[in-house]
Amino acid sequence: MTDSAAVFAAVFAALFVGHSVGDHWVQSSCQAARKGLPGWTGRLADTRHVLGLTLTKGVALVAAVAVLDLKLTAAGLVAGLGVDAVTHWWADRRTTLAWLAKVCGKAEFYSLGTGAHPVHPVTVKGTPAATLGTGAYALDQSFHHVWLFVAALIIAGLS
């Protein structure tokens, strides 16, 4: 394995863990509820979420750098984390990701797990039943994972 491949693997692992912690543990309930709202309320909630998320990814990267003695450049970190932050903010505005799902022919999958899906699960009373996840969440996370991969390539490539 080349040095750049090892750096990529370590950076991707750190970003992936930082993403999971930042997106689920660090994000406040208020940010999660408001980041998709129209106007400045939504934009500011999304910005606060992405700042906390990016700081969490930074902490994970600092740990990896310290323990593994990775040699990363400031340019790689700024570019990689910048691309990741911008794309995360864009997707988390919700209407943007819903639009992307629609243009890609994934609108029905996007609604999976909600009452809007044509074959949503129902209770015996005929009301929508709770599910363990939604298509929107699955598409959201896979979108973020693609950009974590790109960010890790950028950081490793510029280091």
> Is the pLDDT assigned to residue 154 strictly greater than 60?
yes
Of the given ranges (34-43, 133-142, 149-158), which has the lowest mean pLDDT? 133-142
> Is the pLDDT assigned to residue 1 strictly greater than 60?
no
- Average pLDDT of the chain to the nearest whole number: 93
pTM, to two decimals: 0.89
Cβ atoms of residues 112 and 106 within 8 Å: no
Question: What distance in Å separates the CA atoms of residue 20 and residue 23, rounded to the nearest whole number?
Answer: 5
Confidence at residue 133, expressed as pLDDT on a 0 to 100 scale: 80
Confidence at residue 151, expressed as pLDDT on a 0 to 100 scale: 98
Write out pLDDT tens, residues 104-116.
999 988 888 776 7
Write out pLDDT tens, residues 75-96.
999 999 999 999 999 999 999 9
> Is the pLDDT assigned to residue 8 strictly greater than 90?
yes
Domain segments of the chain as ranges: 3-104+135-157
> Is the pLDDT assigned to residue 33 strictly greater than 60?
yes
Class of residue 88 by CB neighbours under 10 A (exposed 0-12, middle 13-18, buried 19+): buried
Question: What distance in Å separates the CA atoms of residue 35 and residue 132, rounded to the nearest whole number?
Answer: 22
- DSSP, collapsed to helix, strand or coil, labels residue 128 as strand
Confidence at residue 2, expressed as pLDDT on a 0 to 100 scale: 62
Question: What distance in Å separates the CA atoms of residue 159 and residue 157, rounded to the nearest whole number?
Answer: 6
Write out pLDDT tens, residues 44-57.
999 999 999 999 99
Write out pLDDT tens, residues 9-32.
999 999 999 999 999 999 999 999
Class of residue 69 by CB neighbours under 10 A (exposed 0-12, middle 13-18, buried 19+): exposed
**Residue in 47, 89, 61 with CA at minimum distance from that of residue 152:** 61
**φ and ψ at 158, to 5 degrees?**
-95, 10
Q: How many residues does the chain have?
A: 159
pLDDT band, very low/low/confident/very high, at 135 (cuts 50, 70, 90)? confident
**Residue in 23, 3, 7 with CA at minimum distance from that of residue 92:** 23
